[in-house]
Amino acid sequence: MVTPPPDEADHDPTEGTDPWPSESGVDLAQLIHTEHQGLIRPIDQLQELAQELPQIEPSLLKERLTESVRFLRHDLLHHAAAEEEVIYPAVDRVLRSTGGATRSMMMDHSRIAEMTGELERLLEGPVSEDLRISAQRLLFGLEALISNHLNKEEAIYLPQLGRLGANGQADLLAHLQGHGSGGPEVEG
Ligand SMILES: [Fe+2]
Ligand SMILES: [Fe+2]
């Protein structure tokens, strides 16, 4: 039987229940959800650092900002790259789309990468009032952007993965693991 193309209702988040339970032991949505859980605390810390920033000792300021850049570069953007390679194309296939369904999510990833680059470049200059103001603006912005991005993935995109069936999910898992992602031990 040919599955009819999803209509608008298929994009609605379903409250309370998992709309398309996995047919296999592989539950990609759960796996990505676990990765997201590991990202929540360090994302909150971006906002906390932004709030504390005006009072941080100059000698500690760059160390604290370097920690944030390390998280964004190595954990968060690594997670984003695995999604763009494996998860988003799979969601697009489910939604019978040619990239349009997740393109806005890739634009979020690009903006996060740009803002991470801006934060990184601030570290090249001297500690100054300008640096504090710019870093604070970037950290508040990153926290808001990333939190909203994760909420969209959880509510709209991850529920689509259950429709891929056993083999589809197993293939994607192998692909994710090849990307160095796909396990709770991976933070980003
Ligand atoms: Fe993402
Ligand atoms: Fe994600």
> Counting ligands in written order, which one lies closest to the CA of residue 28?
2
Quote the ligand 1 centre to 127 CA distance (angstroms): 32
Alpha carbon of 22 to those of 3, 85, 86, 118, 168: distances in Å? 16, 21, 17, 40, 10
Mutual orientation of helices 28-52 and 165-178 as an angle, nearest 10°?
40
pLDDT in tens, the chain (188 residues): 444 555 555 555 444 444 555 555 778 999 999 999 999 999 999 999 999 999 999 989 999 999 999 999 999 999 999 999 999 999 998 888 877 889 999 999 999 999 999 999 999 999 999 999 999 999 999 999 999 999 999 999 999 998 888 888 999 999 998 886 554 443 33
Residues 6+ apart with CB under 8 A from 113: 77, 80
Quote the ligand 2 centre to 58 CA distance (angstroms): 33
Quote the ligand 1 centre to 25 CA distance (angstroms): 23
Quote the ligand 1 centre to 28 CA distance (angstroms): 14
d(CA 47, CA 51): 6
The amino acid occupying position 114 is E
Decide: residue 114, CB within 10 A, 0-12 exposed, 13-18 middle, 19+ buried: exposed
Domains of the chain (ranges, CATH numbers)? 24-178 (1.20.120.520)
In this prediction, residue 17 carries a pLDDT of 45
Quote the ligand 1 centre to 134 CA distance (angstroms): 24
Quote the ligand 2 centre to 83 CA distance (angstroms): 7
Quote the ligand 2 centre to 39 CA distance (angstroms): 9
In this prediction, residue 186 carries a pLDDT of 34
pTM metric for this prediction: 0.77
Quote the ligand 1 centre to 86 CA distance (angstroms): 11
